[in-house]
Amino acid sequence: MAAFHLYLDSADLADLQTCLPHPAVHGITTNPTLLRRAGVTRDGLPELLTNAIKLGAKQVQAQVHAADTDGILADARQLVRQFNPGQLVIKIPATRDGLRAGAELSASSIPVTYTAVYAPEQAHFAGQLGAAYAAPYLGRLEDSGVDGLALIGQMQSLLAGTETRLLVASIRSRAAYLALLQLGVGAITIPPKLFTELFDHTATLDAERGFLADAAALGGV
């Protein structure tokens, strides 16, 4: 069974530094909205991603800033050449032109994530075209009145037998994270604030303090 991939969804280096390095984290996902919120320009994107790799990210993901096939390909290739093979995953919205461009990139061994996946057929196309990931947005699906978990479960079934992982984004709670694990999705990206909730359990920290107090009382070297 393929290893699960946990990503952090942020373009804020200070927030990333509160979580990294950590061996449970596979990588970092970004998009233009996150970059804008963090005050990162397009010219500053390679530096942000390089710093994330220095913090231990095995893969980083960045989205193209073009909508037509030729523009997507030019944008993607300009970004990729600044990283070692496999380090950078190119994020492309799952549009008609996006699928066309992504298929060409995948055929050239450049990993691709089709993002803004809202329909099961989009996930199916991602698998057929050799994408590394297909990224549905759980929270946004539920905001629209859709049963997000059921739809993501359907997407997961359609990807069976392919090398494409679902990379589920827009995760807002620990309960949602655990529900996705039950579905067997291959990857999840979470905001740094949820990382704290998942990794810093109060009862465990309380127990640790008790153990350390008793260890200190034992004395010794």
91 annotated active-site = yes
- Residue 193, pLDDT > 90, answer yes
- The per-residue pLDDT for range 23-59, each reduced to its tens digit, is 999 999 999 999 999 999 999 999 999 999 999 999 9
- Residue 16, pLDDT > 90, answer yes
Query: Cα dist. 119→20, 131, 152, 155, 190 in Å?
Result: 33, 16, 9, 8, 21
Q: What is the mean pLDDT of residues 179-198?
A: 97
Domains of the chain: 5-218 (3.20.20.70)
- The per-residue pLDDT for range 129-169, each reduced to its tens digit, is 999 999 999 999 999 999 999 999 999 999 999 999 999 99
From CA 138, how far away is CA 146, in angstroms rounded?
A: 9
Q: What is the mean pLDDT of residues 76-96?
A: 97
Selected catalytic residue, list 54, 58, 91, 193: 91
